[in-house]
Amino acid sequence: MEKSEILSYAELSGGIEIDRDYEIYPGLCRSIWIRRSVHVGIEFFDSHTDRDEGGEDFFVIYPDYDSAITALEQFLKKPFSAWTKQNFLNLQFPEAHEHQPIVNKWIPLFQGIYDNTVILPEHAQIANGYFEMLKSHAMSVPKQQSSTS
């Protein structure tokens, strides 16, 4: 991919999806976008979730596109010239995870968010309030002690 192509899609069409991974959290897709105003979006969704209204989103705003591209090259461990524009409609969730209960797909990601172990580009923040609301509620509820009989 050319840098001019990345910049053109980001500014003129609102964004370009540069990476998609189905293996980090089995049953979920992690999608990375570079958007207008140097806004990088990291989205997690499943085959039953509307990308625009569901899932978990993180974001990072960089001072310029060169900074964003450099940070994403380091995060993805590949140069931008090796990135490919992802086709928004060509989602290919592995069949092995399609019959898994929906909640089971999300538990590892939610646990990672709760434990601050989700691997994200530096300075990424959660974008939507769904999990933050759950996290703040969970922190105010005492943890259950497991009973051993």
| pTM value surpassing 0.85 | no
- Of the pLDDT bands very low, low, confident and very high (cuts 50, 70, 90), residue 99 is confident
138's enclosing H/E stretch is helix 130-140
Query: How do strand 29-35 and strand 15-21 relate by DSSP bridges?
Result: antiparallel
Look at residue 140 and tell me whether its pLDDT is greater than 60: no
Q: 132-137 long-range CB contacts below 8 Å, 24 or more apart?
A: 134/110
CB atoms within 10 A of CB 20: 16
Q: Which spans in 30-116 are helix H?
A: 65-76, 102-115
By 3-state DSSP, what share of the chain in percent is helix, strand and coil, each rounded to 5?
40, 20, 45
Tell the residue number behind the tokens 């310029």, with chain if given.
64
**What is the tens place of the pLDDT at every residue in 69-86?**
999 999 999 999 999 998
